[in-house]
A and B are shown apart, each in its own frame.
Chain A
């Protein structure tokens, strides 16, 4: 725990908490001082009011009965228990009557209100103690103990006698002490609470971050399937973790793509490379006629061209999946793209006896890349033509461009045998997947995966469904955003 405390201090949460704690303490201390001084002032005011009332009472007694009545009143009042002080002294300050035994020197020299509280000793109190504790070596100390603080008003009678009316401050002082103690206790508890909250909040934050760094260390260690913990609290840590997780998913996805590419290169390019090598080797072995050498070399070139084609397709797919440069995007007229591609394939279709029909009425502008759209469409049309040939009727390929449910749908439908199996239809857009019956056809097995990657690049999708009996390949483009 001692080791972790400095670490806690390094967290932002803890530093902020410490700052708030200091500010809070300052405010609280100020509050305590304000409260105590306010209450003290209030009590002093009350005390002075009481004294004023007493002075008024004594004054009226003096007016009614002169000095004797005043002295009598004071003596009577002195005997009553209470906090009031009365004193009559002669002009020299010798105490004649009242309930005060001794005073702090100099008090009787003032005129009017004493400016600061003074100490005094009541009759009876100090004397008693002094008697019972006569063995005490420091009586002066006891004297101090028995003294009380008070405030008073000192008046001089016309005959120079001094009358002092005061009030003990013990009660307000006690009250003030109580208030101060209560406030100090409250402050202490609040401080402790703040420190505890600070500690736990800081530690929670620290634990969150520790978990996140622990998880990221694991991920950096190579476990790309690992994810940062999400507590479900929906706080900023969760949001951060969720965002990082999304990022990790994207990285894992890209990494997976990369791995797949290298696997594919290793697996699917090695086969034709082996074939290429075998062909060259066979040509070299034994005596051959020049025409045979030529045929072997031509075969080698054809084989390597096919390899290059496959390689280009793989690179293109991975580049599309990794995100293509936005510079390649502009307005594309799909209707024109369909016209161009159909026009490109029309002579081939005619030669192969395949009917190629188009239905594309209206304007279909999307954001994209004309070249990529044409490439995807020509791959699909090329496929459709190849597989429509085994139709029982006249082979037909129909290219339709239409708006369906706010999206632009470009479908290529043939009337061949199609792909009856649902699983096969899903699989066929994966890289290098070639269904059994298509193995005899030329192709790399990348045409549909490339089309799929191109559709993904256009924020659209490529879907395959059965056209009963043929295959329907649907390219769906999102409608172009207005105002762009």
Chain B
């Protein structure tokens, strides 16, 4: 049983993705292509909106990275065009505009996530991997299991090795998010955005303290660590 779940998590994490990058800055595009390849993914690059739209429309991509400002066709228009043709490929929007309403506009156009330039590649990688369709399918599950850790989304209970663990509401949501993306790197910004719904930078590393509190509750008294810190990137919930 446990082994089975671990395998699933492993697949979700190491699954190579076919990614379309629509970015007009040649250098940035080349860097992304190379870095994504190093992370085990395949990236195709389109230098303008029209080419990008044509590629996205014909190819079967797991995810897309779309710059907002593109020559020939605006990034948001490309996304809206694809969505109107029934294309549901997850899209990460890259933009130099990062205010609240810019993000709202981007997501309204059909984007699934929004990242402001300049960004850390680790952040981009974590976000694009989380956009993977397999992660989306976990939305429907009512019980998340990672190793001997079990979270019931309906009864709001958490158990590890058959032992009940009491969590504060926010801690529960934090663990829920981490478990939904078990085996994937989750950054501090992603946690702040998805668990607290804040898109600003709280300067002090408040998230770290929340995570270490949660870690204390789900690891203390148990044999193995389950909530790992990924250096320079964020956190990952992974058994073993």
CB interface residues, A 82-123, toward B, < 8 Å: none
Question: Which residue of B101, B202, B209, B213 is within 8 Å of A325 (Cβ)?
Answer: B101
A382 touches B202 (CB 8 A): yes
Query: Is A173 at the interface (CB under 8 A from chain B)?
Result: no
Q: Which residues of B contact A382 (CB under 8 A)?
A: 202-204
Pick the residue among B170, B199, B203, B205 that contacts A343 (CB under 8 A): B170
**Complex partner residue of B206 from A348, A369, A379, CB under 8 angstroms:** A348
Question: Would you call A374 and B100 a contact (CB within 8 A)?
Answer: no
Q: Assess the B118–A308 pair: CB atoms within 8 A.
A: yes
Residue-wise interface mask of B (17-42) relative to A, using a CB-CB cutoff of 8 A (1 in contact, 0 not): 00000000000000000000000000
Judged by a CB distance under 8 angstroms, whether B5 is at the interface is: no
Question: When the two chains form their complex, are residues B206 and A319 in contact, meaning their CB atoms are under 8 A apart?
Answer: no
A345 touches B206 (CB 8 A): yes
A457 CB to closest chain B CB, in angstroms? 11
For B198, list chain A residues within 8 Å (CB). Answer: 344, 371, 374-375
**Size category, A interface:** 20 to 34
Quick check: is A443 within 8 A (CB to CB) of the other chain?
Answer: yes
Query: Which residues of A are interface residues toward B (Cβ below 8 A)?
Result: 301, 304-305, 308-309, 312, 316, 319, 324-325, 327-328, 340, 343-345, 347-348, 351, 369, 371-372, 374-375, 378-379, 382, 385, 442-443, 447
- The 26 listed contacts between A and B (C-beta, < 8 Å) are A301-B120, A312-B116, A316-B99, A324-B99, A327-B101, A328-B99, A343-B170, A344-B206, A344-B210, A345-B206, A347-B206, A348-B204, A348-B206, A371-B198, A371-B199, A372-B100, A374-B200, A375-B198, A375-B200, A378-B200, A378-B202, A379-B203, A382-B203, A382-B204, A385-B204, A443-B203
Main secondary structure of the interface of B (DSSP, over half): loop
CA distance A301 to B209 in the complex (A): 23
A312 and B204 within 8 A (CB):
no
Contact (Cβ within 8 A) B202 A371: no
Besides the known contacts A328-B100, A378-B200, 7 further A-B residue pairs in the complex with CB atoms under 8 A apart: A309-B201, A344-B202, A344-B206, A351-B209, A369-B100, A375-B200, A442-B203
B104 within 8 A of A: yes
Asked if residues B196 and A344 are in contact (CB atoms below 8 Å), the reply is yes
A348 touches B209 (CB 8 A): yes
Q: B101 — which chain A residues lie within 8 A by C-beta?
A: 324-325, 327-328
